[in-house]
Copies of this chain bind each other. A is one copy, B any other.
Amino acid sequence: MFVSEALGLSRHAGRKLEEKNILRRAFIPHPFFSDVIEALRFDRKFGEIEEGSLVAKTVNGVRVVRGFPKIRRALTLKPTIRKHFEKEVAVEEKMNGYNVRIARFGKNLYAMTRRGYICPYTTEKARELVNPDFFKDHPNLVLCCEAVGEESPFVPKSLYGIERLDFFVFDIREERTNTPLSIEEKIRLCEEYGLKYAPLLGVFDVRTAHEEVREIIERLGREGREGVVMKDPEMRLEPLKYTTSETNAGDLRYAFRYFNDYGKDFMFSRIVREGFQSFEFNESEEEFRERCLRLGMAILEPMVRSIREVAEGGKVVERVRLRFREFEVMNLFLEHMRSTGVDFEVADIRKDGGEIVIWIERIMRSTTDKIRNHLEGNPW
C-alpha cells in the first residue's frame, strides 16, 4: 500500500494500520483536484503520526503532510510558563477560525482542514488568496493557517473585520517531519511572500511573562478576541495556548445553543478554565460577579433561545454564508459536507457579481429532537 511505503512502515505496522481502520478517504475526486490521484487521511493518531495527517498520491509522486499537533492549554500562567519555557517566551495572538494546512501538489494549492480533509471551499479560497510563489521556492513546507472571517463554514466571525475569508499563517512546518521554523524565520518568509500572519504580541522573559500575558489577555478579552499561543522562539518546545474569559463564554454560548449536539467535555473544560483564571487573576468581588454573570448568561441565553425556536415550530440551525467563484466547486463542497455527515439545507442562493453567495443551514437534529421531546411532555 502506498501509505505504508510513504511512511516507511514495517510490514507489521502496515498491517496494524489496516486492522485498526484508521485511514479514510480524504477527498472527493474531481477535476478541481486534478493534481491528486488518491489521498487518505488519518482518522486517529497512529504511533507518532498525528490525527489529520494526509498521504496523497499526486501527479508528482506521493506526498505526506503531517497533521497539525494538538496544542495543550495552560490553566495557570505563572507556574506553567516558568515550568514549560526556557528564558524567553514569544506570545502570538490566537485567532478564532478554523485550522487549515496549505500545500502545493502538482500545479495547484490544496487546503486541508484539521482532520485531514481536502476542503473544496477552503482550497478555492487558498488559490485565490495565497501567493503560490512561496511553494515554488519552498516545495516541502506547509503553511499552517487560521482561516477567519464571516464567510467561514465552520467558525463564522465578524470580529476581525473580514467580510469574506482570509488566511493568517501561524506556523510554517516541514510537511513530512512536522518540524516548525523558528518564529523569526516564519515571519521573515511571510513578509517576503506577502502572506498575512497571526500578530506577534511580544517576546518576554519567562520570569515576568505571566504579567505581560495577563495584560494582553485582558485587552484581547475587551476586544472580543480569542487569546494567545505561547511559543518557544526557536520552536523547539511545544507551544501552549491560553484564552480569554470572553472566549470561554463565547464557546459556551455556542455549545449551549446546540447543547445536545455538543460533547459534555467541551462544556466542562471551558467551565473549568474559568475557575482557574478567576483564581489566578485574584479578582475583586465586582469582577468576580461579572464573570459569574457572564458565565451564567453564556449558558442559559442560547439554550432558552433554542428552546423558544423549537416551541415556535422551528428547528435549531446554524446558518452560514459562503461565497464561491465556481458553481462546480460549490456543488463539490456541498457533497463534501454531506459525506462528512453534516446535516444541512440550502436556505438561499444568489449571484453577486461573478460570484455565487450561498446560505446554508446546518440542522442540529439532536438538540432539536431533545427539545421537542420535552416540550411534548416526555420526561427525561
Contacts and interface: CB of A to CB of B under 8 A. Distances in A.
A347 interface: no
A272 B374 CA distance: 11
Contacts of A83: 376-378
Given A279-B308, A303-B275, A80 B378 contact: yes
B292 A279 contact: no
A379 B292 contact: no
A271 interface: yes
Chain A interface size range: 35 or more
A291 interface: yes
Nearest to A252: B271
Most B C-beta atoms less than 10 A away, residue of A80, A292, A296: A296
A82 B375 CA distance: 12
A75 B374 contact: yes
A378 B269 CA distance: 15
A209 to B, nearest CB: 13
Contacts of A72: 379-380
A296 B300 CA distance: 10
A84 interface: yes
- What copy number does this chain have within its complex? 2
A307 interface: yes
A377 B279 contact: no
Given A300-B278, A303-B272, A240 B292 contact: no
Interface string A63-82: 00000000011111011111
Interface stretch (A125-133, A259-267, A318-326): A259-267
Nearest to A262: B268
B377 A276 contact: no
A279 B275 CA distance: 27
Contact of A379 (B74, B300, B311): B74
A342 interface: no
Contacts of A259: 272, 275
A304 interface: yes
A73 B379 contact: yes
Nearest to A80: B377
A307 B275 contact: yes
Given A264-B264, A303-B275, A307-B279, A82 B377 contact: yes
A291 B297 CA distance: 9
A130 B256 CA distance: 46
19 contacts: A78-B377, A79-B375, A240-B379, A259-B272, A259-B275, A264-B264, A271-B303, A274-B303, A275-B300, A275-B303, A278-B303, A279-B307, A279-B311, A288-B300, A291-B296, A291-B300, A292-B297, A292-B299, A296-B296
A-B pairs with the 3 shortest C-beta distances? Answer: A292-B296, A83-B377, A296-B296
Interface of A: 72-76, 78-84, 240, 256, 259, 264-265, 267-269, 271-272, 274-276, 278-279, 288-289, 291-297, 299-301, 303-304, 307-308, 311, 374-380
